[in-house]
Each structure stands twice: as structure tokens, then as C-alpha cells.
């Protein structure tokens, strides 16, 4: 983590906010020893979505213009930050994709995770206007004023899928830029792991379906989103059957 924070300082002179999501090791001490501007400490782990919600709220309340989010485990490389800041100029959101043709493949995730990413990315493309290749990447840049249009409540791993639907409804523009595919965790494609991932995919699908049903006051637009939701349910059942 200290290396990641050091690298951020080499590629950006912006304020650095670290959200410590209930770590039980010495992470908080190491964070405070590093050259960071602000620290938000969750006493208990609330999940990646909860950590992002805290960061979003902080950026909004402090009136920042741009927020770049990244993991601190080395999956995301600070040298890419200038490319995110350049790409965000004419859109509201930039997503770092591990699956663009120019994305460097350092290693590969387990097959069950690759399957889940592929299915969920297809589903996001079906129910929004976003022609994306990586639905779950956490390496992103946001215009902070655009975050005010979102009302995120998902605190676990399904947060991107709530965000995709709300961003599409709000008309946020986005682009993807290539980042390296770096995977550290060692997992086997066991039957238990595959069942767990399928449960996660089903929950993420339910989150998208729920968001399409809610959050729209205009009757015509609400009817349009309900039609989308019906089509999405049909397509998602087909995807889960085929894949």
C-alpha cells in the first residue's frame, strides 16, 4: 500500500484521500505514515461500495472538481492517473478497462470470474446505452458535479451495477481507456467457487433490475424503463442459460 501511495504522489500533486474500510491489520498505521492528505476510517468493514460512497460524499462536500478512484492493492497503476485526467475533460466518467484491445494482459483471472465479468458486461450493455468492455473496474475518474445526480446505496460488490443504471438515467457521458489486467488473488475454478460467483451475478442482475423499476418520476420515462426492465429480464435469463 505504501508503494501505491508513493507512486500516486509521483504522478499527481492532487489531494489524496484514503478510505480504510475496517481493516484489522496495520493498514491504518501505514496509511497515516504515508504522505496522504485525508483519511476516512470505517471502524467496521462495510464493503467496497460503502467505501466509495464515503469517498463520493467527501468529494461533493469539499467541492472538488474531479475524483479518481483506485484500489490500493497494486491492481491499479498510478502512472495511468494523468491519462484519466486528460480523458475526463469532455465526459463525466472515465472507466479503466482491462479488456480493450490495447489493454496489457499481465495475467488472467480464474475462469469463473472471467465468465462473470463477461456476462455482467453484456447485461450492462443491453440495458444502458454504454458500449463498455469492463463493467466492474474500480479504476475510474468522475466529474464531481455528476456524482450529485446519483443516489448510491449498494455497499457491497454490486455497487457498479446500481451506478450504471443511475448514470444512464442521468445521461452521464463516459469513455473507456485501457489499463493493465493485473490479478493477484489465487483461486481455483472449483464447483463451490463457480456456484458463489453465479449467486453474485444473480444479485448484481437483481440490483440492475431494481434500479430500472425505480427512481423515475416522469410517467413516460418510467414506462420506457419498465419496458427496458422486461427486455433486460428476458435477455439476462438467456445469458445465464447459455453461459
- Better pLDDT: 35 or 136: 136
> What is the model's pLDDT at position 186?
59
pLDDT given for residue 240 in this prediction? 61
Residue 126, classed as helix, strand or coil, is helix
- Global pTM value: 0.88
pLDDT at 71 over 70: yes
Cell numbers of 180, please?
A: 493493465
Q: What is the pLDDT of residue 239?
A: 59
Structural domains of the chain in order of their starting residue, each with its CATH number: 2-242 (3.90.550.10)
Answer yes or no: is pLDDT of 97 > 70.
Answer: yes
The whole-number pLDDT of residue 89 equals 97
- Per the CB < 8 A criterion, the answer to whether 52 and 69 are in contact is yes
Average pLDDT, the chain: 89
Most confident option among 17-31, 121-135, 162-176 = 162-176
Query: What is the mean pLDDT of the segment spanning 176-186?
Result: 87
The stretch 111-126 carries a mean pLDDT of 88
Q: How far from 217 is each of 16, 129, 220, 223, 226, CA to CA, in Å?
A: 37, 20, 9, 10, 12
Residue 99: CB atoms within 10 A of its CB come to 19
Judged by DSSP in three states, 197 sits in: helix
The confidence score (pLDDT) of residue 183 equals 84
pLDDT at residue number 217: 67
Single out the residue of 124, 128, 62 nearest to residue 97, CA to CA: 124
Residues in the chain: 243
Amino acid at each position: 500500500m505504501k508503494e501505491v501511495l508513493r507512486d500516486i504522489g509521483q504522478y499527481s500533486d492532487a489531494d489524496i484521500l484514503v478510505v480504510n474500510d475496517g481493516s484489522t491489520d496495520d493498514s491504518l498505521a501505514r496509511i497515516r505514515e504515508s504522505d496522504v492528505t485525508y483519511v476516512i476510517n470505517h471502524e467496521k468493514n462495510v464493503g467496497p461500495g460503502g467505501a466509495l460512497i464515503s469517498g463520493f460524499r467527501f468529494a461533493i462536500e469539499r467541492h472538488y472538481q474531479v475524483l479518481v478512484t483506485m484500489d490500493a492493492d497494486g491492481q491499479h497503476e498510478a502512472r495511468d492517473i494523468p491519462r484519466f485526467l486528460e480523458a475526463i475533460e469532455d465526459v463525466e466518467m472515465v472507466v479503466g478497462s482491462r479488456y480493450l484491445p490495447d489493454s496489457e494482459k499481465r495475467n488472467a483471472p480464474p475462469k469463473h470470474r472471467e465468465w462473470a465479468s463477461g456476462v455482467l458486461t453484456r447485461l450492462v450493455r443491453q440495458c444502458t446505452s454504454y458500449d463498455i468492455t469492463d463493467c466492474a473496474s474500480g479504476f475510474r475518474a468522475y466529474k464531481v458535479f455528476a456524482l450529485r445526480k446519483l443516489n448510491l446505496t449498494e455497499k457491497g460488490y454490486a455497487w457498479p451495477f446500481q451506478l450504471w443504471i443511475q448514470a444512464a438515467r442521468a445521461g452521464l457521458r463516459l469513455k473507456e481507456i485501457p489499463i493493465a489486467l493485473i490479478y493477484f488473488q489465487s483461486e481455483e475454478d472449483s464447483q463451490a467457487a463457480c456456484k458463489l460467483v453465479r449467486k453474485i451475478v444473480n444479485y448484481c442482475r437483481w440490483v440492475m433490475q431494481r434500479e430500472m423499476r425505480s427512481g423515475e418520476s416522469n410517467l413516460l420515462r418510467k414506462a420506457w424503463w419498465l419496458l427496458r426492465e422486461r427486455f433486460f429480464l428476458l435477455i439476462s435469463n438467456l445469458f445465464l442459460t447459455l453461459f
